[in-house]
Structure 1
Amino acid sequence: MPNPPRNRRNSRTAAAAAAASAVAALSAAGLVALCAAPTAFADDTEPLLVLGDIAPIDGVKPGSSLDQSVTVMNKGTKAVDTVWVVYSVTRGLGYGDIPSNCQTHQVPSYDEMTAKSNVVCEFDQAVEPGVTYAPEKRLAIKALPSALNDDLRITLWETDPELDESATQPVAGTAPAVKLVEGTAGGDTKDIVEVPVTSVNTADYQVTGAALKGEVGDTVTLKATFANAGPAWVLPREGDPLVEVLITPPAGTSVVKPDGFCEAKGKALACGTSQRWVDEDGGETYTIKLKIDKHVPDAKGSVKLSTDARPFDPDKSNDKADITLDVTGGGSTGSSGESTTGSTGGSSSTGGNEPTTNGDLAATGSSSTLPIAIGAAAAVAVGTGAVLVARRRRDQSGG
């Protein structure tokens, strides 16, 4: 299926296996050490930095600011001389004035990671055990015109965090520096705070069809598009459906070569996107090679969005478009055999059922054309996935 989940390195499994090997190799020595010095393992003078949890934020209006405080606590028994607080937001969120003890940088999207905008704030002051702190002035986080489903992520560091290798050059803030001041403890604490931010906004998904023309026996190129006209970008939450565009070629044609983001679904092509999210003013162009096997009068196909619920997209008038075919000459090609019966676009799937149309993708007698073409496209997709898996994946610093 287009936009499949790519394989990921399981770093936790690898780390666990390495740790198990180390324990097995040193078990005898460890037992001796345990008997000789039972208190050598304990270090009760370590700091333990945590953040106060933040509840999900809903109902934000684009252009407004998020009024959220950040609390820092040291649950250990040793003071920390300097701490770094890292803020990371997705595409629909931004920042106001940046204090001079903070730096901002950008991390572009790669692999399955969305683009991030990060701010790293250094607080060069002691964080004492058992004390709760908060920045004396909250960092201004704003909802941009593209906000819809976004994420705010906050992490806390005892050392200066390394930047992602793809990050832009950090830029220091120009607003007055901010200090940590004693605050009030309360609620749960976490090592990392991840906050879903939902804004009141819309995004207009739309498709375009095509007008094809050719003689019987010709191979023609169909270019259909899916676009997000905004204003919001769309980042699906867990459980939300991904984009699915259903393309039904006109009757009397067969698919010679499908687009790499498409696969057969019943008697249509189901097409996805290169990423699970769709930027505002983003989208995909699907290029499909069709062979005109037979002249079917008034043959018409369609491009349409699936019927999945999209509450952010109230305009349904541009969710479907026609694919017309003007054929010069009559009859059918000798190799195609019996041609398909016509359809004016078919119907999209609902609840996981396959779409139903009256026209086959490949004409009878050449039904192997589409599986072979799709198999080739799948092989390319597998190769691409292998390259992506081979890339070094690391957690974006603060994102």
Structure 2
Amino acid sequence: MADGSGTELVLGTIAPISGVRPGSTFEAPVIFGNKGTQALQKVWLRYTVTQGLDYADVPSNCVRWDIGSYDELPARSQMTCEFDQAVEPGVVYAPEKLTLKALDRALYEDLDVAVGDYDFGPDEGASRPVRGTAPAAKLGERPGSVLTGSSSGNHDYAEDRVRVKAANTADFQVSGARLKGRVGDTVDLQVKFINAGPAWVLVNPGPPVPTRVLIKIPSGTTAVKAPECKKPAAGTYDCYVAQGWVEEDQVNTYSFKLKIDKAAAGAKGSVALNAESRPYDVNKANDKADILLDVEGSGSTGGSGSAGGSASSGESGTTGSGATGNSSATGSSGSASTTGGNLAATGSGPALPLAGAAAAVVAAGAGTVLLVRRRAARR
């Protein structure tokens, strides 16, 4: 570091990576050097990747941790490699045998790389360390390379983050319902948001996910119990899907209790994703579904449209008012995701209330996520 010790590490700027196919391997163009006047006898290189990426091999001079989601951060993994090689001033180096791979769930991923003159250690929430067994990685010289990028300056590491975009899709869809009852009855309504995958979707800083499901209940009914959603108009509910990311196989269930006030001709509601761009979702046919209502004894029916889901009917029942969700998200994180209403999808268990800056973001309807790094203390 540039503190009188005569060393200054510089990490070359990493260009965004795109077109990576799930199941394939690739190398990130990582280079670094020492712009100081004295050699460093040892350096550490750290890779941190989001849950759609993994390491093809973990060399024997590297240690790997898996890190579960917490706060506004999704699950990820970290690998730190120790290079017992001199890093001479004015020489550009690149790591060898450090290869990444894209998992089936990969879509918008983050790769964070840091080089420092000390062992970084694990981030918060890390699993037990696993020492690599593949042949040790080495540093190779890159003569002629021009080094511009992040400098350690008065710190002891230099860092850069890059977006990795995989050639993959995620099928966001909704399911409706068919209701049946008499005037005066209270019936249960459940509609769903589903990410049928295969990819999970990370928002920041990539394209936004459809952070809302728009639900219109059939005319002639009143919601006596509803999820914690915005209500922009009578009989209309604007419900969040997730805060910063949506897991593959995530299911959000939005539960209502509707009282049938009167028989309205052609009474029909709907559930639909909002109109935000979703370039990864190529199947638009399942982005909207009907909520059909048959009022017994009146000859009134909601029509013959597709409800996109199973029938739902009954009296008052005991269904809760909140939107609940369940998923079987799998991959390097090994975590499940549960979300509902306007709560965050954390990828690690029951939905939690939004707090702090994240709540302000959700209140604005942006559906973004604050990526806050929590770094372990030096040694």
TM-score tier (shorter): 0.7 to 0.9
Aligned residue in 1 for 2:135:
176
Identity %: 50
- The answer as to 2:176 corresponding to 1:209 is yes
Aligned residue in 2 for 1:258:
226
Give ranges in structure 2 of 5+ residues lacking alignment.
151-157, 306-340, 344-351, 360-370
My pick for the range that moved more, 181-190 or 197-206, is 181-190
Aligned residue in 1 for 2:47:
87
> Which structure would you say has the larger Rg?
1
Aligned residue in 2 for 1:385:
354
How far residue 308 of structure 1 moved from its aligned partner, in angstroms, is 2.3
How far residue 157 of structure 1 moved from its aligned partner, in angstroms, is 2.3
- The answer as to 2:288 corresponding to 1:320 is yes
Change (3 A) 1:43 1:321: closer
- The answer as to 2:38 corresponding to 1:78 is yes
Give the alignment partner of residue 219 of structure 1, picking from 180, 186, 196.
186
What amino acid is aligned across from residue 101 of structure 1 in structure 2? N
What amino acid is aligned across from residue 216 of structure 1 in structure 2? V
Aligned residue in 2 for 1:120:
80
Aligned residues: 310
Give the alignment partner of residue 395 of structure 1, picking from 365, 373, 377.
373
What amino acid is aligned across from residue 63 of structure 2 in structure 1? Q
Aligned residue in 2 for 1:130:
90
Give the alignment partner of residue 267 of structure 2, picking from 279, 286, 299.
299
SS at match of 1:159: coil
Aligned residue in 2 for 1:232:
199
SS at match of 2:70: coil
Give the alignment partner of residue 145 of structure 1, picking from 104, 113, 127.
104
Change (3 A) 1:386 1:98: closer
Change (3 A) 1:235 1:325: same
Cα contact 1:69–1:138 (8 A) shared by 2: no
Give the alignment partner of residue 165 of structure 2, picking from 174, 183, 198.
198
What amino acid is aligned across from residue 135 of structure 2 in structure 1? P
How far residue 227 of structure 1 moved from its aligned partner, in angstroms, is 0.8
RMSD: 3.1
Cα contact 2:92–2:147 (8 A) shared by 1: no
How far residue 312 of structure 1 moved from its aligned partner, in angstroms, is 1.5
| Higher share in helix | 1
| Counterparts of 1:234 and 1:98, CA distance in 2 | 26
Aligned residue in 1 for 2:331:
none
| Counterparts of 1:234 and 1:385, CA distance in 2 | 19
Per-residue CA deviation, residues 330-355 of structure 1 (Å, 9 max, x unaligned), is 6xxxxxxxxxxx9999xxxxxxxxxx
What amino acid is aligned across from residue 189 of structure 2 in structure 1? L
What amino acid is aligned across from residue 157 of structure 1 in structure 2? G
Cα contact 1:302–1:344 (8 A) shared by 2: no
How far residue 397 of structure 1 moved from its aligned partner, in angstroms, is 4.8
How far residue 126 of structure 1 moved from its aligned partner, in angstroms, is 2.6
| Counterparts of 1:384 and 1:145, CA distance in 2 | 30
My pick for the range that moved more, 104-113 or 282-291, is 282-291
Aligned residue in 2 for 1:26:
none
SS at match of 1:224: strand
Cα contact 1:247–1:304 (8 A) shared by 2: yes
Give the alignment partner of residue 66 of structure 2, picking from 89, 94, 106.
106
Per-residue CA deviation, residues 132-170 of structure 1 (Å, 9 max, x unaligned), is 2222x2311111222221111101222221322311111
TM-score by length of 1: 0.70
Cα contact 2:240–2:342 (8 A) shared by 1: no
How far residue 127 of structure 1 moved from its aligned partner, in angstroms, is 2.0
TM-score by length of 2: 0.73
| Counterparts of 1:387 and 1:188, CA distance in 2 | 36
SS at match of 2:173: strand
| Counterparts of 1:204 and 1:384, CA distance in 2 | 26
What amino acid is aligned across from residue 326 of structure 1 in structure 2? D
Cα contact 2:73–2:372 (8 A) shared by 1: no
Aligned residue in 1 for 2:313:
none
Change (3 A) 1:65 1:397: farther
How far residue 250 of structure 1 moved from its aligned partner, in angstroms, is 0.6
Give the alignment partner of residue 114 of structure 2, picking from 147, 155, 163.
155
- The answer as to 2:238 corresponding to 1:270 is yes
Cα contact 2:218–2:292 (8 A) shared by 1: yes
Change (3 A) 1:389 1:55: closer
What aligned pairs does 1:352-371 form with structure 2 within 5 A after superposition? none
SS at match of 2:354: helix
Give the alignment partner of residue 166 of structure 1, picking from 113, 125, 133.
125
